[in-house]
Structure 1
Amino acid sequence: MHDPRIDALSRQLVRYSTKVKKGDLVWIDLFDVPNTVGQSLIREVVAAGGMPMVRINDAVLTREQMIHASEKQYDIIAENNLALMKQTDCYIAVRGSHNITEAADVPPEQMKMVMAKLRPVQNERVNNSRWVVLRWPTASMAQQAGMSTQAFEDFFFRVCLLDYAALLPAMNALKKLMDKAKDVHITGPGTDLRFSLKGLKSYVCGGGHNIPDGEVFSAPVKESVEGVISYNAPTIYQGIAFDSVKLEFSKGKIVNATANNTAAINKILDSDEGARYIGEFAIGFNREIKEPMRDILFDEKIAGSFHFTPGQAYEGVADNGNRSQVHWDLVNIQRPEYGGGEIRFDGKLIRKDGKFLLPELKPLNY
């Protein structure tokens, strides 16, 4: 039996997130998801007057290809993908994952090469198309979240179909506050971090690009970051699981990095010069997401959290000039059960223990 929630989600992605209109060329990128998802999206795009183009991806085959990849091969792949992306008006990606660590044994030098080759395609998508990206619930994801498959599916649709439009006034109020802020001071267990936002704009994420959504992001002045941050949300990056990540900064650069796998994290941060600088600072507030599940698209939106991201800044958008093949959204949760914490803008307490204090921001509280 077809789940009507799939159609509701497709409608949100097409009508609200990407605002498909007549004549739009829409790239539908599907990764290990049921055919019913693709069918629903195709029908919704056509109903909106768009022209769907579907690409099917398989994580097992992608891993195999990356292991044996050559630079010439990925030059051709990237060239063709970039040409298609330049003709694309809207991009919708739905990414399932039967095994989130499928790429864990891809040699680091191969992963580095592939990511570097494909980075221009991602930049073109981010900067010049109306795009949205989301996960698809699988038994593997349910297991990561410590939930039954049925309970996780219900959670997924509840989170993704959140009424983002109703939160926009409070999100815009937070954006206005961040745009005016110069100095940021964040404290909490193992964290005492200072940086500047001067001259950098912030951006609202209210269901327009990532689903689930619920954040306002900017970027620190590249060389302004000082202090230490201890991340309390576990993460997976490049197929490797990390816990207890701690970063120390001097003049914006990560000068010391430790984790449960210190050698692996430093290998990632040594990918290029920009990997040891921060490309994004964001405050997350999706009230339906409370616990980390090692999935960045969910974890970066956790209620009462913020993320502080080593690597690439969004070119042309909250752009502090940092360039890297890495963009790793590491998350710190500041709710009381995670040890609490405070965020101050120009000395004024904005959020304490994960809850905003200003009346205009309280609709964003969990």
Structure 2
Amino acid sequence: MDSRVQRHAEIIVDRAIDLQPDENVVVSMPPAAEDLRVALYEEIGTVGANPVMLARGDRGIGTDRATRAYLQQVDAADLEEPEHLLKLFEHADAAVVARPHENVAEQSDVSTEIGAAYAEAYRDVLNARLETKWCLTHYPAPADAQLAELSTEVYEDFVYDAMLKDWDAVEDHQEQMVEILDPAEEVRIVSGDTTDVTMSVADMVTLNDCGTNNLPAGEVFTAPVPDSVEGEVLFDKPVYHQAREIQGAWLEFEDGEVVDFSAEQNEAVLEGILTTDEGSDRLGELGIGMNRDIDRFTYNMLFDEKMGDTVHMALGRAYPETVGEGVEQNESAKHVDMIVDMSEDSYIEVDGEVVQRDGTFRFEDGFEE
């Protein structure tokens, strides 16, 4: 076994979920991640905790092929909350999820309508998982390397360079951005002549993603006040959702809601996201990517949203930890991240002051006012 897989498992158990003796942990990942599953079980056994295995992610009912077969046959009206899976997560202390693929397009012929109904039926399961000590991570399967247009070896190097870092040092560096954003009232994101959007973050909580819930980590993120978002955004990086690629997604916001939208490719998929439920046409997250070891787009949002010189905004559900006391939380079955390249002709403004220009933060060398 690759020694990097063992190190990955150690970081998950020791840092990301801080697993303790006798705790119950759900390991949710497909056979494509078998080496990581084995390494995790070894680490869990060393701790003295109690694992149980699922064949897919937090909302999964099986492998990608099995899930496709089910969704091809079931009626959307018959999709109900799976109480047995909900009970599993309600009794878990921790959860580790990875979603490598054997075929990244396995569910490309599942309708957007059934996909939305599926997400809605599993909403409480997702919420229960997020109430545990959870970690979402990745294993470099060949199908994901192919999607990234990389050889398996190069993709493995890319994945582990992004994940096996000194996360204490990352935490210290990113905390400088947390100190700027956490007490802020308003954020403005400008990129070229296609993106100019403002949002209130007053009383929201800014989190430092530094090797706990996500591996790889490498972002600072918060939640906007749901009805405060104004302006337009062109997401110039693709969105890969339900095995379909959305290109050139453009959104216009008024009073927090999307009032107009378009996409150069798969606009119907974007529309399916926006019409899932009452909260899916509002933003639930603003994130600032700071992991510069993620230096290329790979169609894996777990990595792409952390990419240096980017920001991302998520339609749908806000993470409860980012919502301040007494402030409305955006609720939705969806949480779909979309990315804006901030490397050129771009800036982030916090309470009227530019804090990042063309990807460089004001606390870094090379920043220009």
Give the structure-2-normalised TM-score.
0.91
- Counting only pairs closer than 5 Å after superposition, residues 1-366 of structure 1 correspond to structure 2 as 2-57=1-56, 58-70=63-75, 74-75=79-80, 78-126=82-130, 128-189=131-192, 190-260=194-264, 261-318=266-323, 320-336=328-344, 340-358=345-363
By how many angstroms is 1:39 displaced?
A: 1.4
Q: Distance in 2 between matches of 1:291 and 1:335?
A: 13
By how many angstroms is 1:43 displaced?
A: 0.7
Structure 1 regions of 5+ residues with no counterpart? none
SS in 1 for 2:320: coil
* Amino acid of the structure 2 residue aligned with 1:275: S
Q: Distance in 2 between matches of 1:179 and 1:36?
A: 39
* Amino acid of the structure 2 residue aligned with 1:123: N
The question of whether the paired residues in 1 share the 8 Å contact of 2:104 and 2:147 is answered with no
Deviations along 1:312-352, one digit per CA (max 9) or x if unpaired, are 1123533642122221100112113xxx3100100111011
* Amino acid of the structure 1 residue aligned with 2:317: Q
The question of whether the paired residues in 1 share the 8 Å contact of 2:178 and 2:206 is answered with yes
SS in 2 for 1:210: coil
The question of whether the paired residues in 2 share the 8 Å contact of 1:7 and 1:40 is answered with yes
Q: Distance in 1 between matches of 2:283 and 2:69?
A: 31
By how many angstroms is 1:70 displaced?
A: 4.8
- After superposing the two structures, state which structure 1 stretch, 65-74 or 202-211, moved more: 65-74
By how many angstroms is 1:81 displaced?
A: 1.0
SS in 2 for 1:137: coil
The question of whether the paired residues in 2 share the 8 Å contact of 1:222 and 1:278 is answered with yes
* Amino acid of the structure 1 residue aligned with 2:136: V
The question of whether the paired residues in 1 share the 8 Å contact of 2:187 and 2:200 is answered with yes
Deviations along 1:146-174, one digit per CA (max 9) or x if unpaired, are 21111111111111112222111222232
Percent identity, aligned pairs only?
28
The question of whether the paired residues in 2 share the 8 Å contact of 1:20 and 1:49 is answered with no
SS in 2 for 1:75: coil
Q: Distance in 1 between matches of 2:238 and 2:191?
A: 17
Q: Distance in 2 between matches of 1:20 and 1:176?
A: 29
Deviations along 1:116-136, one digit per CA (max 9) or x if unpaired, are 11111111111x211101122
Q: Distance in 1 between matches of 2:152 and 2:251?
A: 35
* Amino acid of the structure 2 residue aligned with 1:159: A
Q: Distance in 2 between matches of 1:112 and 1:129?
A: 24
By how many angstroms is 1:355 displaced?
A: 1.1
By how many angstroms is 1:72 displaced?
A: 8.5
Give the structure-1-normalised TM-score.
0.92
Q: RMSD of aligned C-alpha atoms?
A: 1.8
Q: Distance in 2 between matches of 1:285 and 1:186?
A: 16
Structure 2 regions of 5+ residues with no counterpart? 57-62
Deviations along 1:272-314, one digit per CA (max 9) or x if unpaired, are 2211111111111111012212111111101111111111112
The question of whether the paired residues in 1 share the 8 Å contact of 2:9 and 2:43 is answered with yes
Q: Distance in 2 between matches of 1:280 and 1:234?
A: 18
Q: Distance in 2 between matches of 1:245 and 1:153?
A: 30
Deviations along 1:232-265, one digit per CA (max 9) or x if unpaired, are 1112112211111111111111111111222331
* Amino acid of the structure 1 residue aligned with 2:142: A
The question of whether the paired residues in 1 share the 8 Å contact of 2:316 and 2:331 is answered with yes
